[in-house]
């Protein structure tokens, strides 16, 4: 991360919110020995999405603003859905956003031995038991929101039998689903999460970090709080969906011997006067015209709605990065959304505004003709070439200038010519004039068509006295972009747009989200033409193609012999009502 970015994260001028206020109070009272330790705990079962970006920005910036530290810990307790690919991609995304974690990368699987010992501790204290109910039976015994649960037939097993069964579970004597370890709390609790929740399940499956060492795996609720305590986390920040899980978070920690936790505190250093971590919930980021649940994202990939996790239409950070969203724009967006406990839906327009605002300042300008139509200039020689000097940015002189070759034959966009122009049309017409961007005023004097009556070429003449000057005695209103026919380079351009055409594709009123797909979410155009500076300029992969939008090089699909550009966003919001 650049020093300027670090300074901005630690600035005391950061917007206030209830979490920052709480941490300020804790520091003032020396509650955690004057230290702030946060963590970002992703489950490596998919790619991070824009909702995770809010959590990343919050956890890392809160720590930086208070001279604390933030751990990266993978809560890897479900190897059936996890992979090393997801681990690597998550680390890359965090780095790309501009953040770095404290110390080494941590995994809940690092603590499996400790978690097992803590589970034994609960059994020995008559606070956990081995249950033989199947998952379906356990759901039936659990009760409902209006009816209390029923005790498992195994709830009163002896301590010795529970210890023996749990040991045999560990060494692999039993099949998947035959036993589980459950906390002994209260099957009549109003909070279903407290009705003897499962702590361990049997799963004979290879783990991406531990291999075949384990065949029992702890649940997320059991693992998460203990991992926080092991790492001396002071403030465990999570989304509101975990609010009902907080009593279980506290129950587990309060029923473990503190001295046992202290024995493993060397994994994260020590804090004077350490107290157990507190869970604090905030509203998750919800974005309209989007689905961000990992289950939905995976289903869209599996059914071919999108190509992969990094499809530029996906709300994943990998997809957004590939589409051309910058890390700065996402950080600014997350800051502007703010942090609260009130659930709300953020307008996609806010995110799009963030990237437009960033790229307007930083993206060099260039010309790209998406739908080429040849225009031959009759009043210059066939070998005529003039090197025009154009600014790379109209407001940023420091970005320099570029050479753009102007030749006898140029390409303009087919949409910039009309034989029968509609009212108010200010582009090129027969016997009409426009200015070629950064070049001369040109007049169309002839239209050439093929046998089917389609326009295939225009012939025009330039006013040679209009380079950098207004024409004498007349006013030319239209300005269009162009490229040299001989010097321009053919490229593929992908025009991306929102994936859904309704605000809430995940609504219960919608039977199938596929009915809400935007048919224009991806349009691929072959044989577009860009000015040569776009390829020659190795210092940028982002451009504003004048009059068309903001684009970036698709690093994944581009080849030396054919570049691919993705449209990040249009110049203006076409979705606002």
Cite the annotated binding site by residue number.
Answer: 43-45, 49-55, 75, 220, 239
Rg of the chain in Å (alpha carbons) = 31
Q: At what angle do helices 327-337 and 84-97 cross, to 10 degrees?
A: 80
| Torsions phi, psi for 525 (to 5 deg) | -115, 120
Closest among 83, 84, 74 to 108, alpha carbons compared? 74
* Contact (Cβ atoms closer than 8 angstroms) between residue 315 and residue 300: no
* Contact (Cβ atoms closer than 8 angstroms) between residue 333 and residue 317: no
Separation of alpha carbons 511 and 505, rounded Å: 10
Terminal alpha carbon distance of the chain: 39
Binding positions for L-glutamine: 75, 220
Binding positions for ATP: 43-45, 49-55, 239
* Neighbouring C-alpha atoms within 13 Å toward the C-beta of 126: 3
Strand blocks (E) in 283-367? 286-287, 345-346, 365-366
| Torsions phi, psi for 288 (to 5 deg) | -75, 165
Separation of alpha carbons 209 and 212, rounded Å: 9
Separation of alpha carbons 538 and 444, rounded Å: 36
Closest among 118, 124, 571, 174 to 365, alpha carbons compared? 571
């Amino acid at each position: 991360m650049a020093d300027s970015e670090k300074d901005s994260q630690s600035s005391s001028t950061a917007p206030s919110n209830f979490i920052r206020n709480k941490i300020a109070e804790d520091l003032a009272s020396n509650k955690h020995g004057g230290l702030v330790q946060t963590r970002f705990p992703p489950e490596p079962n998919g790619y991070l999405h824009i909702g995770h970006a809010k959590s990343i920005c919050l956890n890392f910036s809160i720590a930086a603003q208070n001279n604390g530290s933030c751990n990266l810990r993978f809560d890897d307790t479900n190897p059936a859905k996890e992979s090393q690919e997801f681990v690597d991609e998550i680390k890359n995304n965090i780095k790309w956003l501009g953040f770095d974690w404290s110390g080494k990368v941590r995994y809940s699987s690092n603590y499996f031995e400790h978690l097992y010992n803590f589970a034994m501790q609960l059994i020995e204290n008559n606070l956990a038991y081995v249950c033989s109910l199947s998952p379906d039976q356990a759901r039936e015994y659990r009760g409902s929101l209006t009816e209390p649960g029923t005790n498992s037939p195994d709830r009163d097993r002896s301590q010795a039998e529970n210890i023996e069964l749990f040991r045999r579970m560990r060494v692999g004597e039993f099949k998947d689903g035959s036993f589980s370890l459950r906390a002994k709390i209260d099957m009549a609790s109003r909070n279903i999460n407290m009705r003897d929740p499962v702590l361990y399940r049997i799963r004979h499956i290879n783990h991406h970090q531990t291999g075949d060492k384990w065949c029992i795996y702890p649940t997320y609720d059991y693992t998460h709080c203990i991992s926080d305590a092991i790492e001396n986390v002071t403030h465990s920040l999570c989304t509101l969906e975990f609010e009902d899980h907080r009593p279980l978070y506290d129950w587990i920690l309060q029923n473990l011997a503190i001295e046992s936790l202290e024995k493993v505190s060397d994994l994260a250093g020590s804090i004077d006067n350490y107290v157990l971590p507190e869970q604090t919930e905030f509203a998750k980021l919800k974005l309209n015209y989007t689905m961000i649940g990992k289950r939905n994202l995976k289903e869209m990939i599996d059914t071919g709605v999108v190509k992969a996790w990094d499809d530029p239409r996906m709300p994943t950070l990998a997809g957004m990065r590939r589409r051309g969203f910058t890390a700065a724009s996402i950080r600014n967006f997350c800051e502007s959304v703010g942090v609260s406990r009130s659930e709300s839906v953020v307008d996609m327009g806010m995110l799009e505004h963030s990237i437009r605002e960033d790229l307007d300042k930083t993206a060099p300008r260039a010309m790209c003709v998406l739908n080429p139509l040849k225009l031959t200039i009759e009043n210059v020689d066939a070998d005529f070439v003039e090197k025009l000097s154009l600014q790379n940015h109209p407001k940023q002189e420091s970005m320099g200038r570029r050479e753009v070759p102007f030749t006898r034959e140029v390409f303009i966009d087919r949409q910039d010519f009309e034989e029968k122009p509609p009212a108010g049309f200010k582009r090129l017409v027969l016997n009409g004039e426009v200015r070629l961007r950064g070049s001369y005023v040109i007049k169309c004097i002839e239209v050439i068509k093929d046998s089917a009556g389609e326009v295939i070429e225009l012939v025009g003449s330039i006013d040679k006295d209009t380079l950098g000057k207004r024409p004498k005695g007349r006013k030319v209103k239209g300005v269009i972009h162009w490229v040299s026919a001989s010097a321009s380079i053919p490229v593929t351009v992908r025009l991306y747009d929102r994936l859904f055409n309704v605000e809430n594709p995940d609504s219960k009123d919608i039977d199938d989200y596929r009915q809400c797909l935007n048919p224009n979410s991806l349009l691929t155009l072959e044989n577009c033409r860009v000015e040569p500076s776009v390829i020659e300029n190795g210092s940028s992969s982002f451009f504003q193609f004048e009059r068309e939008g903001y684009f970036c090089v698709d690093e994944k699909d581009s080849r030396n012999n054919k570049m691919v550009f993705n449209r990040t966003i249009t110049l203006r919001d076409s979705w606002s009502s």
